[in-house]
Protein backbone atom coordinates (compact mmCIF):
# COMPACT_ATOMS: atom_id res chain seq x y z
CA UNK A 1 0.00 0.00 0.00
CA UNK A 2 1.35 3.41 -0.98
CA UNK A 3 1.89 6.16 1.55
CA UNK A 4 -0.29 8.42 -0.57
CA UNK A 5 -3.27 6.36 0.49
CA UNK A 6 -3.06 7.19 4.17
CA UNK A 7 -6.46 8.16 5.53
CA UNK A 8 -6.99 11.25 7.59
CA UNK A 9 -10.29 9.96 8.96
CA UNK A 10 -8.46 7.03 10.56
CA UNK A 11 -5.84 9.36 12.06
CA UNK A 12 -3.11 7.67 10.09
CA UNK A 13 0.29 9.21 10.80
CA UNK A 14 2.96 6.60 10.35
CA UNK A 15 5.90 6.66 12.73
CA UNK A 16 8.99 6.51 10.54
CA UNK A 17 11.81 7.15 13.02
CA UNK A 18 13.68 3.93 13.76
CA UNK A 19 15.06 5.59 16.91
CA UNK A 20 11.62 6.39 18.33
CA UNK A 21 10.30 2.93 17.44
CA UNK A 22 13.26 1.30 19.22
CA UNK A 23 12.70 3.50 22.26
CA UNK A 24 9.00 2.56 22.42
CA UNK A 25 9.86 -1.16 22.28
CA UNK A 26 12.48 -0.65 25.01
CA UNK A 27 9.97 1.17 27.23
CA UNK A 28 7.55 -1.73 26.86
CA UNK A 29 10.23 -3.92 28.45
CA UNK A 30 8.98 -7.17 26.96
CA UNK A 31 9.91 -10.31 28.90
CA UNK A 32 10.03 -13.81 27.54
CA UNK A 33 6.60 -15.37 27.18
CA UNK A 34 4.59 -12.14 27.47
CA UNK A 35 1.46 -11.31 25.51
CA UNK A 36 1.39 -7.91 23.83
CA UNK A 37 -1.43 -5.98 22.15
CA UNK A 38 -0.69 -3.26 19.62
CA UNK A 39 -3.43 -0.76 18.86
CA UNK A 40 -3.55 0.65 15.34
CA UNK A 41 -0.85 -1.33 13.55
CA UNK A 42 -0.98 0.76 10.38
CA UNK A 43 1.69 -0.27 7.91
CA UNK A 44 3.44 -2.38 10.54
CA UNK A 45 6.64 -0.47 11.39
CA UNK A 46 6.15 -0.88 15.13
CA UNK A 47 4.63 -4.34 14.66
CA UNK A 48 7.81 -5.65 13.02
CA UNK A 49 10.01 -4.11 15.72
CA UNK A 50 7.87 -5.74 18.43
CA UNK A 51 8.30 -9.12 16.77
CA UNK A 52 12.07 -8.82 17.19
CA UNK A 53 11.54 -9.30 20.95
CA UNK A 54 10.89 -12.68 22.58
CA UNK A 55 7.18 -12.07 23.16
CA UNK A 56 4.92 -15.11 23.10
CA UNK A 57 2.06 -13.53 21.19
CA UNK A 58 1.31 -10.23 19.52
CA UNK A 59 -2.27 -9.17 18.83
CA UNK A 60 -2.78 -6.15 16.60
CA UNK A 61 -6.14 -4.38 16.65
CA UNK A 62 -6.64 -2.33 13.48
CA UNK A 63 -9.83 -0.66 12.25
CA UNK A 64 -8.91 0.03 8.62
CA UNK A 65 -9.59 -2.98 6.38
CA UNK A 66 -6.78 -2.04 3.96
CA UNK A 67 -4.25 -1.76 6.79
CA UNK A 68 -5.44 -5.14 8.06
CA UNK A 69 -4.60 -6.64 4.66
CA UNK A 70 -1.14 -5.00 4.70
CA UNK A 71 -0.46 -6.30 8.21
CA UNK A 72 -1.50 -9.81 7.23
CA UNK A 73 1.48 -9.79 4.87
CA UNK A 74 3.79 -10.04 7.90
CA UNK A 75 4.60 -13.72 8.36
CA UNK A 76 5.09 -14.72 11.99
CA UNK A 77 3.27 -17.49 13.84
CA UNK A 78 3.14 -15.36 17.04
CA UNK A 79 1.23 -12.59 15.26
CA UNK A 80 -2.55 -12.32 15.17
CA UNK A 81 -4.17 -9.46 13.25
CA UNK A 82 -7.63 -8.48 14.45
CA UNK A 83 -9.95 -6.26 12.43
CA UNK A 84 -11.70 -4.30 15.16
CA UNK A 85 -12.34 -1.02 16.92
CA UNK A 86 -10.07 -0.33 19.92
CA UNK A 87 -12.70 2.06 21.34
CA UNK A 88 -14.88 -0.90 22.24
CA UNK A 89 -12.74 -4.00 21.87
CA UNK A 90 -13.04 -6.45 24.78
CA UNK A 91 -9.33 -6.59 25.65
CA UNK A 92 -9.74 -9.10 28.46
CA UNK A 93 -10.88 -11.60 25.82
CA UNK A 94 -7.25 -11.73 24.63
CA UNK A 95 -5.55 -12.44 27.95
CA UNK A 96 -5.36 -11.60 31.63
CA UNK A 97 -1.88 -9.95 31.77
CA UNK A 98 -1.51 -7.89 28.61
CA UNK A 99 1.07 -5.29 27.76
CA UNK A 100 -0.42 -2.66 25.48
CA UNK A 101 1.32 -0.41 23.00
CA UNK A 102 0.18 1.99 20.32
CA UNK A 103 0.81 5.09 18.32
CA UNK A 104 -2.84 6.06 18.77
CA UNK A 105 -4.99 7.86 16.20
CA UNK A 106 -5.28 11.33 17.81
CA UNK A 107 -8.91 11.95 16.97
CA UNK A 108 -10.04 8.96 19.05
CA UNK A 109 -7.08 8.51 21.42
CA UNK A 110 -9.11 9.51 24.48
CA UNK A 111 -11.89 7.05 23.67
CA UNK A 112 -9.37 4.25 23.21
CA UNK A 113 -7.73 5.15 26.52
CA UNK A 114 -11.13 5.07 28.23
CA UNK A 115 -11.67 1.56 26.92
CA UNK A 116 -8.23 0.51 28.19
CA UNK A 117 -9.06 1.83 31.67
CA UNK A 118 -12.30 -0.14 31.66
CA UNK A 119 -10.15 -3.24 31.08
CA UNK A 120 -7.48 -2.36 33.66
CA UNK A 121 -7.83 -5.73 35.39
CA UNK A 122 -6.08 -7.38 32.42
CA UNK A 123 -3.74 -4.51 31.43
CA UNK A 124 -0.96 -3.95 34.00
CA UNK A 125 1.23 -1.81 31.74
CA UNK A 126 1.03 0.21 28.53
CA UNK A 127 3.09 2.56 26.36
CA UNK A 128 0.94 5.00 24.42
CA UNK A 129 1.52 7.87 22.02
CA UNK A 130 -0.85 10.84 22.16
CA UNK A 131 -0.97 14.42 21.03
CA UNK A 132 1.48 16.24 23.32
CA UNK A 133 -1.10 18.45 25.10
CA UNK A 134 -3.27 15.41 25.79
CA UNK A 135 -0.27 13.51 27.20
CA UNK A 136 0.58 16.43 29.51
CA UNK A 137 -2.98 16.64 30.80
CA UNK A 138 -3.12 12.89 31.37
CA UNK A 139 0.04 13.12 33.42
CA UNK A 140 -1.75 15.64 35.63
CA UNK A 141 -0.07 18.82 34.42
CA UNK A 142 -1.94 21.96 33.46
CA UNK A 143 -5.60 21.84 32.56
CA UNK A 144 -6.62 18.49 34.03
CA UNK A 145 -9.58 16.61 32.51
CA UNK A 146 -11.98 14.06 34.01
CA UNK A 147 -10.14 11.41 31.96
CA UNK A 148 -6.83 12.34 33.56
CA UNK A 149 -8.29 11.78 37.04
CA UNK A 150 -10.00 8.59 35.85
CA UNK A 151 -6.69 7.30 34.45
CA UNK A 152 -4.59 8.25 37.50
CA UNK A 153 -7.08 6.52 39.80
CA UNK A 154 -6.01 3.19 38.32
CA UNK A 155 -2.55 3.88 36.88
CA UNK A 156 0.71 5.60 37.72
CA UNK A 157 1.35 7.84 34.67
CA UNK A 158 4.80 8.90 33.46
CA UNK A 159 5.61 11.27 30.63
CA UNK A 160 8.35 9.42 28.75
CA UNK A 161 9.28 11.61 25.78
CA UNK A 162 8.17 14.23 23.31
CA UNK A 163 8.10 13.22 19.65
CA UNK A 164 8.35 16.00 17.04
CA UNK A 165 6.07 15.93 13.97
CA UNK A 166 8.94 15.31 11.57
CA UNK A 167 9.14 11.70 12.75
CA UNK A 168 5.75 10.93 11.14
CA UNK A 169 4.44 10.58 7.58
CA UNK A 170 2.51 12.68 6.91
CA UNK A 171 3.66 14.96 9.75
CA UNK A 172 0.70 15.82 12.03
CA UNK A 173 -0.02 19.48 12.78
CA UNK A 174 0.55 18.89 16.50
CA UNK A 175 3.48 17.58 18.51
CA UNK A 176 3.27 14.12 20.03
CA UNK A 177 4.38 12.47 23.24
CA UNK A 178 4.75 8.99 24.69
CA UNK A 179 3.48 8.11 28.15
CA UNK A 180 3.73 4.93 30.18
CA UNK A 181 0.95 3.77 32.49
CA UNK A 182 1.55 1.25 35.27
CA UNK A 183 -1.39 -0.18 37.17
CA UNK A 184 -1.66 0.64 40.87
CA UNK A 185 -2.15 -2.02 43.51
CA UNK A 186 -5.61 -1.32 44.84
CA UNK A 187 -8.43 1.16 44.40
CA UNK A 188 -11.55 2.07 46.34
CA UNK A 189 -13.46 2.35 43.05
CA UNK A 190 -15.54 -0.72 42.25
CA UNK A 191 -18.12 0.58 39.79
CA UNK A 192 -16.33 2.36 36.95
CA UNK A 193 -19.43 3.73 35.24
CA UNK A 194 -20.62 5.23 38.51
CA UNK A 195 -17.19 6.76 39.17
CA UNK A 196 -17.05 8.17 35.63
CA UNK A 197 -20.45 9.84 36.17
CA UNK A 198 -19.17 11.33 39.44
CA UNK A 199 -16.09 12.78 37.68
CA UNK A 200 -17.84 14.08 34.56
CA UNK A 201 -20.48 15.75 36.73
CA UNK A 202 -17.80 17.50 38.79
CA UNK A 203 -15.95 18.61 35.64
CA UNK A 204 -19.09 19.99 33.95
CA UNK A 205 -19.36 23.80 34.43
CA UNK A 206 -15.80 24.06 35.74
CA UNK A 207 -16.27 27.63 36.93
CA UNK A 208 -18.94 26.60 39.41
CA UNK A 209 -17.86 26.21 43.00
CA UNK A 210 -17.86 22.75 44.54
CA UNK A 211 -20.47 23.95 47.03
CA UNK A 212 -22.93 23.97 44.11
CA UNK A 213 -22.03 20.46 43.03
CA UNK A 214 -21.71 18.37 46.18
CA UNK A 215 -23.70 18.16 49.44
CA UNK A 216 -22.18 20.42 52.15
CA UNK A 217 -21.87 17.53 54.62
CA UNK A 218 -19.75 15.55 52.14
CA UNK A 219 -17.39 18.48 51.54
CA UNK A 220 -17.18 19.15 55.27
CA UNK A 221 -16.40 15.50 56.12
CA UNK A 222 -13.48 15.51 53.68
CA UNK A 223 -12.29 18.99 54.64
CA UNK A 224 -12.81 20.62 51.25
CA UNK A 225 -14.07 24.20 51.34
CA UNK A 226 -17.28 24.97 49.43
CA UNK A 227 -15.68 27.86 47.56
CA UNK A 228 -13.09 25.69 45.80
CA UNK A 229 -13.31 24.62 42.16
CA UNK A 230 -12.81 21.24 40.57
CA UNK A 231 -9.36 22.01 39.11
CA UNK A 232 -7.96 22.60 42.60
CA UNK A 233 -8.71 19.07 43.81
CA UNK A 234 -5.92 16.54 44.24
CA UNK A 235 -6.36 12.92 43.20
CA UNK A 236 -6.65 11.95 46.89
CA UNK A 237 -9.41 14.52 47.39
CA UNK A 238 -11.38 13.20 44.41
CA UNK A 239 -11.21 9.71 45.87
CA UNK A 240 -12.13 10.82 49.40
CA UNK A 241 -15.08 12.84 48.08
CA UNK A 242 -16.28 9.89 46.04
CA UNK A 243 -16.02 7.51 48.99
CA UNK A 244 -17.77 9.94 51.32
CA UNK A 245 -20.55 10.56 48.81
CA UNK A 246 -21.20 6.80 48.59
CA UNK A 247 -21.09 6.52 52.36
CA UNK A 248 -23.51 9.36 53.00
CA UNK A 249 -25.88 8.66 50.11
Please report, as ranges, the residues that interact with ligand SAH according to CB under 6 A: 10-15, 39-43, 45-46, 61-64, 67, 85-87, 103, 105, 108
Q: Of 110 and 153, which CB lies nearer to ligand SAH in the complex structure? A: 110
The residue at minimum Cβ distance from ligand SAH is 40
Q: Of 89 and 238, which CB lies nearer to ligand SAH in the complex structure? A: 89
Q: Of 106 and 203, which CB lies nearer to ligand SAH in the complex structure? A: 106
Q: Of 60 and 210, which CB lies nearer to ligand SAH in the complex structure? A: 60
CA distances from 195 to 39, 111, 120, 191, 244 (A): 26, 16, 14, 6, 13
Q: How far is the CB of 95 from ligand SAH (least distance, A)?
A: 18
Q: How far is the CB of 172 from ligand SAH (least distance, A)?
A: 10
Q: How far is the CB of 232 from ligand SAH (least distance, A)?
A: 34
Q: Of 1 and 248, which CB lies nearer to ligand SAH in the complex structure? A: 1
**Cβ neighbours for 198, distance < 8 A, ≥ 6 positions apart:** 242, 245
CA distances from 99 to 76, 103, 137, 161, 218 (A): 19, 14, 23, 19, 38
Q: Of 108 and 218, which CB lies nearer to ligand SAH in the complex structure? A: 108
Q: How far is the CB of 215 from ligand SAH (least distance, A)?
A: 39
Burial 141-158 (b: 16+ CB within 10 A, else e): eeebbbbbbbbbbbbebe
Q: How far is the CB of 40 from ligand SAH (least distance, A)?
A: 2
Q: CB pairs under 8 A, 24+ apart, for 61-70?
A: 61/37, 61/85, 61/86, 61/89, 63/10, 64/7, 64/10, 64/12, 66/1, 66/5, 67/1, 67/10, 67/12, 67/41, 67/42, 67/43, 69/1, 70/1, 70/43, 70/44
Q: How far is the CB of 114 from ligand SAH (least distance, A)?
A: 12
Amino acid sequence: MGKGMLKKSFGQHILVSRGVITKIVELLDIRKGEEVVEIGGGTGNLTKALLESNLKRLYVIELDREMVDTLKGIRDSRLKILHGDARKFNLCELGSELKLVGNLPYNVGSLILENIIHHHRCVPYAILMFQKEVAQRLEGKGDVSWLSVFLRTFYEVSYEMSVPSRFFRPPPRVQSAVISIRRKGTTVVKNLEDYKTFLTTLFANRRKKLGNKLPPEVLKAVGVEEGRRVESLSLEEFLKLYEMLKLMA
